[in-house]
């Protein structure tokens, strides 16, 4: 299977490539006039580095939104990857325990998603030596595009989103998305999540891209996320199991907003 087939590339804005990993996660490449930034590295089964190099030859900075397996899986393919140091503990767990990588690999195999040139040993043996501390207070200057990091500490403690000012585009990662999962031990209480959303609402964004959908969302969706969190009711929620960490799960609350947008919160 070639990389062109493995990854599906969406281009919602001229300089923004939302790259779909068929294992169920998206990474985002922003190409400025001088530099490019890759946000997250997906599951790590396909050759993401090669896919990015086919899109741009600009100097590349790779940054993780957070330390979950489906966002840092391809880190081993890059020389340096930046992340908020508050996520090191989570990322280390992924790299020190190979069981989750084995599960991801087996699922890819079952779905016939392992490319011919996949290097199983590199994938399984990789460690976090290439991680670098990301300065969440500094602006990312890509030339004609400046990106502002936005702390979103609810899904995970160091979850970092990004605001791309000229496009009025917010990259919400896993804290600002249609199905927010707060059932992991590292996740915040719902009240803290509401505070994160309300603070983020002050940014003048008009569009949102998230890590598990190709859709460009808007402020009506964002309002639904806040309404959903405020309305969360365990009594009318359903049992939910995490597809990768089977010992984790929570109560899934599905909410239809006043403007007919659906939002889901699992706690
Ligand atoms: Zn996550």
For the chain, the domains span 3-266
Q: How far is the CA of 36 from the centre of ligand 1 (A)?
A: 23
R_g of the chain computed on alpha carbons: 18
- Tens of pLDDT, residue by residue over 130-172, are 999 999 999 999 999 999 999 999 999 999 999 999 999 999 9
Task: Report CA(112)–ligand 1 centroid distance (Å).
Answer: 24
E strands present in 32-111 = 36-39, 60-63, 81-83
Q: What separation in Å is there between the alpha carbon of 138 and the centre of ligand 1?
A: 23
Output the pLDDT for position 94. Answer: 83
The SS3 call for residue 73 is coil
Q: Are 22 and 8 in contact (CB under 8 A)?
A: yes
Which of 8, 111, 103 is closest to 51 using CA atoms?
8
Cα(169) to centroid(ligand 1), Å = 20
Q: At 245, is the secondary structure helix, strand, or coil?
A: coil
Q: Tell how far the Cα of 239 is from the centroid of ligand 1, in angstroms.
A: 19
Centre of ligand 1 from the C-alpha of residue 250, in Å: 14
Cα 174 to middle of ligand 1, angstroms = 5
**Residue 260 has which token pair?**
């007919």
**Centroid of ligand 1 to alpha carbon of 225 (angstroms):** 16
Sheet hosting strand 81-83, strand order edge to edge:
8-13, 16-21, 25-31, 36-39, 60-63, 81-83, 131-133
Does 3.60.15.10 match the CATH number of domain 3-266? yes
Q: How far is the CA of 241 from the centre of ligand 1 (A)?
A: 14
What residue ranges of the chain have pLDDT lower than 70?
1-4
State the pLDDT at residue 2: 47
Q: In angstroms, what is the span from residue 22 Cα to ligand 1's centroid? A: 16
The position carrying tokens 């502002």 is 148
How many angstroms does the Cα of residue 200 sit away from the middle of ligand 1? 18
Cα 142 to ligand 1 centroid, rounded to whole Å: 26
Length of the chain: 267
Rounded distance from Cα 33 to ligand 1 centre (Å): 30
């Amino acid at each position: 299977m070639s990389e062109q087939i493995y990854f599906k590339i969406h281009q919602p804005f001229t300089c923004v490539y939302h790259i779909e990993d068929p294992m169920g996660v998206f990474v985002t490449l922003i190409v400025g006039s001088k530099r490019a930034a890759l946000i997250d590295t997906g599951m790590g089964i396909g050759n993401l580095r090669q896919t990015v190099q086919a899109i741009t030859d600009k100097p590349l900075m790779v940054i993780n939104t957070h330390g979950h397996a489906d966002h840092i899986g391809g880190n081993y393919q890059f020389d340096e990857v930046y992340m908020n140091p508050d996520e090191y503990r989570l990322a280390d767990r992924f790299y020190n325990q190979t069981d989750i990588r084995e599960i991801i690999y087996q699922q890819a195999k079952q779905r016939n998603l392992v490319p011919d040139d996949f290097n199983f040993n590199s994938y399984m043996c990789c460690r976090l030596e290439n991680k670098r501390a990301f300065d969440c207070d500094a602006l990312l200057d890509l030339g004609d595009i400046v990106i502002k990091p936005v702390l979103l500490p609810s899904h995970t403690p160091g979850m970092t989103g990004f605001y791309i000012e000229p496009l009025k585009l917010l990259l919400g990662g896993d804290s600002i998305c249609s199905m927010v999962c707060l059932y992991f031990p590292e996740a915040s209480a719902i009240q803290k999540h509401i505070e994160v959303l309300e603070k983020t609402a002050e940014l003048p964004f008009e569009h949102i891209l998230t890590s598990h959908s190709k859709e460009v969302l808007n402020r009506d969706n964002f309002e639904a996320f806040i309404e959903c969190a405020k309305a969360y009711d365990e009594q009318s929620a359903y049992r939910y199991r995490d597809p990768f960490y089977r010992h984790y799960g929570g109560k899934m609350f599905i909410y239809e907003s006043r403007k007919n947008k659906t939002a889901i919160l699992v706690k």
